[in-house]
Chain A
C-alpha cells in the first residue's frame, strides 16, 4: 500500500473513532486544548501494525469503539502501600469517589479534580494541559496520547510548591466489567519542590491514562505505580515529562497480568544537570499476556543523566516488548545515557522482543544500551537445590533476584519492599 493510502486509512479510522466520542465540557481554554488534541489525533490517524512502533503490539482492541469486557475479581484489588502514610484519591471506573478519598489537602501542594479545574481558570493547568503531550510527537507520533488529552473525562491536577510530606496515591478501582475509562493527570512541581505520586489498582476494562509532569529547576518528582492484577484489562498509558535544570524524575512501574498493556514514557531533559530514571518490571503468565514498554528520552541540555532499566518475567507463551530510545541532541554534551532491557523466559513458549535505539548528535557523550533474554541459570539453580532449597522456591528466588536490579531504582525502601512482596506473591501463585 502506498504511504498516502496508509495515512488516509489511519485518518479515517481516527475520524470514525472520534465520531463515537464527545469532548467533555469545560471553560474555553479547556475546550480549546481538547479540540487541538482532537485535531492532532485526526491528522496523525490511529496506528496500525504497519507503524514502526506498533509492529509488535496490535492496537485494534485499543481502537475499537466498544471496549472489550474484562471480568472483575476480588483479588484484582489487592491493597498495596497500606502501611504507607499517603493521601488517597480514589477513582472507581474512572469516576472520582469523594467519599472513598481523603480530603484533597496537604501543606505545600494544591490538588483539584481535572473536571473542576477545566471549568475554572487555573493558569498553570491551562498552560500545561496537552502541552507536553503535543511536544511528545516530535520524533514519533503517539495518537493514543492525543486521544487521551482530547477525551479524558477526569483526573487530578496537582501543583507542588513545597515538599509534599506524604505521597499522593491515585487509587483505581475497577467495578464494572465493561468500563471504558480515560483519565488525564497534570503535575507541576515548582522550583525546588518535591512530590511522590503513586498509582495503584486496576482502573477499568479498558483504560487510557495520561500524565503530564513539569519538573521545574531543582525539583524532584518520583512516580511509583502498580498496574492492577486484573487479567483481562487493556491499557494504554502515556507519561510525558519535561525536566528543568538540576531536577530529578524517577518513575517505576510494576505490571502483573493484563491482556494488553502499553506504557509509553516520553521525557525531555531541557535543563542542564537533570536526572531521569525510568524503570519497570512486568510479570506475565500465559498467551493472553502482552506487555509493551515504549520509552523515548530526549537529551537537550548539558551534563544530564538518564537511565532505563526494564525487566520482564515471562512464562507460558507470554509476550514482552521493549522499545527504548535515547536521543541526544546537538549540544547536549556530557550526556550520560544508559539503557538495559532484560527478560527472563521461564519456558520455551514465552517471547521477548526488544528494539533498543541510540541516536546521538553530540560528540562528548557516554551512552550505552543492552538487551538480553535468557532462562534461569542452571548452575545457580543446582547450587541452591544442593543446599536444600526446593526447585520451585529456588526458581522464585532467582526470579526475584533477576528483577531486583530494576527495584533498586526505587529510592524509598518501604515502597520497594511493598513491591517486592507483591512480586513474591505473584511468583508464589504462578509457579509450578
Chain B
C-alpha cells in the first residue's frame, strides 16, 4: 500500500536535514505504529507524505499503490486515498463542519470520476458516523474545529476519516489529549475501518493506544531514521524502559 524508500527531507527555508533516509512499507490490511522521541521527525514524515509546503525532498521516494505521491498536489494525494489525522487539527472560522466535509467528499469523488453525493445521502451518512463517535449535531454545525476541546478535535479527525474512507490512514498522535473514554471511542472508530484493503500508520508516544488498536509492526524513529522495527512487544519495551536502551543498542 504505502512504500517509502530512503526518504530524505530538509527544511526549505533552512539548511536543516530532518529525515535522513526513511525506509518503511505498510501493506494493505496492516497497522504499523511509529514511536520515537520528540523531534525525531514523525510529524515531518506525515506532512511530507501529505504534501505540506516548506519541505524539500532531497532523496528517496514515497508511493501509494505504486503511484508516486511526492509528485502530486495535496488534494490529489487525498483523492488517491491518503489521509492524515493531524497532530494539531486546524481551526477554520467561518467554514461550517458539514460544509467542509461535504465539499471535501464531493471534491474527492469528482477527482475519481464518481458522482457527487446528494445532500440527503450526505446528511444520512454523516449522522450515522457522527453517532458512533458521539459527535452531536451542534458540533457538526459549528465552524471547523473552532471552540472544540482537544479531544473533540481528535474525534473530528476520525469522523472525517470515517466519511472519506481513505485507503491509507496516517494518524499523528491522535491519542494525545484524549481521556480514557474518548480513547476508546477513537480506537473503535479506527478499528471499524480496519479491513484488508486499507493500511494504517499510527504515530504515538503511548503503548496504551496500541492496546486498543493492535499494530502488526512497531517502528522506532530516531533522528530522522527508522532505527528499529519489531512486533507489538517493542511498544511495551518503550513503555517500560524509554528509548535509551533501544537507541544505545542500535548506535
B137 adjacent to chain A (CB < 8 Å): no
Chain A interface SS verdict (over half): helix
Closest chain-A Cβ to B248's Cβ sits at a distance in Å of: 37
For A349-387 the 0/1 string (1 means CB < 8 A from B) is 000000000000000000000000000011110111111
Closest to A400 in B: B94
- Which residues in chain A, 365-415, are within 8 Å of chain B measured between CB atoms? 377-380, 382-391, 393-394, 397-398, 400-402, 404-405
Find out whether the CB atom of A386 lies under 8 angstroms from the CB atom of B74.
Answer: yes
Find out whether the CB atom of B95 lies under 8 angstroms from the CB atom of A386.
Answer: no
Please, how many angstroms separate the alpha-carbon atoms of A385 and B79 in the complex?
A: 10
Please, how many angstroms separate the alpha-carbon atoms of A395 and B224 in the complex?
A: 33
Given A389-B103, A402-B94; A383-B89 close (CB under 8 Å) = yes
Find out whether the CB atom of B52 lies under 8 angstroms from the CB atom of A382.
Answer: yes
Closest to B166 in A: A388
- Which residues in chain B, 59-113, are within 8 Å of chain A measured between CB atoms? 73-75, 77-79, 83-84, 86, 89-95, 99-101, 103-105, 107-108, 111
Q: Which of B50, B53, B75, B83 contacts A389 (CB 8 A)?
A: B75
Find out whether the CB atom of B94 lies under 8 angstroms from the CB atom of A405.
Answer: yes
Closest chain-B Cβ to A370's Cβ sits at a distance in Å of: 15
Q: Which of A377, A387, A390 contacts B100 (CB 8 A)?
A: A387
Find out whether the CB atom of B94 lies under 8 angstroms from the CB atom of A388.
Answer: no
Find out whether the CB atom of A383 lies under 8 angstroms from the CB atom of B94.
Answer: no
Find out whether the CB atom of B104 lies under 8 angstroms from the CB atom of A378.
Answer: no
Q: Which of A378, A380, A385, A397 contacts B75 (CB 8 A)?
A: A385
B164 adjacent to chain A (CB < 8 Å): yes
Q: Which of A380, A391, A405 contacts B92 (CB 8 A)?
A: A380
Closest chain-B Cβ to A281's Cβ sits at a distance in Å of: 13
Q: Which of A378, A382, A385, A397 contacts B95 (CB 8 A)?
A: A397
Please, how many angstroms separate the alpha-carbon atoms of A236 and B181 in the complex?
A: 61
Please, how many angstroms separate the alpha-carbon atoms of A66 and B239 in the complex?
A: 82
A390 contacts across to B, CB distance below 8 A: 73, 75, 107, 111
Given contacts A380-B90, A386-B75, A387-B164, 7 further A-B contacts (CB under 8 A): A377-B92, A383-B90, A387-B160, A388-B79, A388-B164, A390-B107, A401-B94
Question: 7 tightest A-B contacts by CB?
Answer: A401-B94, A388-B78, A388-B108, A387-B104, A385-B74, A383-B90, A404-B94
- Can you offer 13 A-B residue contacts whose CB atoms are under 8 A? A380-B92, A382-B74, A382-B90, A386-B50, A386-B86, A387-B100, A388-B104, A388-B111, A389-B103, A389-B107, A390-B73, A398-B95, A400-B95
